[in-house]
Amino acid sequence: SSEHYPYGNEYHAMFSGSGHSDFGPQLKSMNKQLFTIVAWDPRGYGHSIPPVRDFPPDFFERDAKDAVDLMQALKFNKFSLLGWSDGGITALIVAAKYPTLIHKLVVWGANSSITQEDLTLYNAIRDVSKWSESIRKPMEEMYGYEYFAKTCEAWVDGISQFAHNPDGNICRHLLPNIKCPTFIIHGEKDPLVPRFHPEYLHNSIQGSRLFLMPEGKHNLHLRFAEEFNKLVQDFLL
């Protein structure tokens, strides 16, 4: 009906997640009377295997085009985007490159460039055998240890290649092209995304709103699902 708002497009996690593993509380509890929610697994993740996940220099642009192609195949003419971590980067690129398709944008745990500090953080998670069991085990069950471990290493190498660009650019140059209403959420205890990243996004995307969660970590939408869902639903309406 005309009362239905454009859907929330749930992106994947830092890497190796899937729609169901990464967005369970959103898929379960967001208002289905108001929103049609589409959760997708980018190529090489979740149920989108084969192919094996790889990280060519344009992997974010490839994911962005895949997301748009999917939504158009599903006959959504205009939609909103929810993007977490790598999915947040993908969502930023979609909003910048396909502005006529995007209603509103929500991103968290995302960055538009890579610094030396980021490289140190990423290399610290390269070896999945050192991860806590609570985080590692669901991924091992989904992919098997070997695929999960190889994909993690490949992701660190893939994301690190942006450090060779001027200013470590991933999508900084695209941010001024984002014209839709944009909501940036940041967990102040996020161990993977320092605060200067969301602040840069906020300062570069005209009219954007930045919300800081004092106790939020990288997975703030899972840990504080009720608060997150309310914030996002209020913004999308």
pLDDT of residue 227: 97
Query: What's at 228, amino acid-wise?
Result: F
pLDDT of residue 10: 40
Task: Mark whether 190 is an active-site residue.
Answer: yes
Report angle CA 96, 101, 105 to the nearest 5 degrees.
60
Task: Mark whether 86 is an active-site residue.
Answer: no
Sequence-distant (6+) residues with CB within 8 A of 208 are 178, 181, 182, 183, 184, 201, 202
Task: Mark whether 218 is an active-site residue.
Answer: yes
Q: Give every strand in the sheet of 102-108, ordered side by side.
A: 35-39, 5-10, 79-84, 102-108, 182-187, 209-213
In order of 86, 87, 177, the CA distances from 157 in angstroms are 14, 17, 28
**Digits of tens for pLDDT over the chain (237 positions)?**
223 334 444 444 456 677 877 898 998 999 989 999 999 999 999 899 999 999 999 999 999 999 999 999 999 989 999 999 999 999 999 999 999 999 999 999 999 999 999 999 999 999 999 998 988 898 899 999 999 999 999 999 999 999 999 999 999 999 999 999 999 999 999 999 999 999 999 999 999 999 999 999 999 999 999 999 999 999 999
Spot the catalytic one: 12, 186, 197, 218.
218
Cα–Cα dist 115/54, whole Å: 22
Cα–Cα dist 170/209, whole Å: 21
Spot the catalytic one: 118, 190, 208, 221.
190
pLDDT of residue 15: 61
Helices H / strands E in the chain, number of each: 10, 6
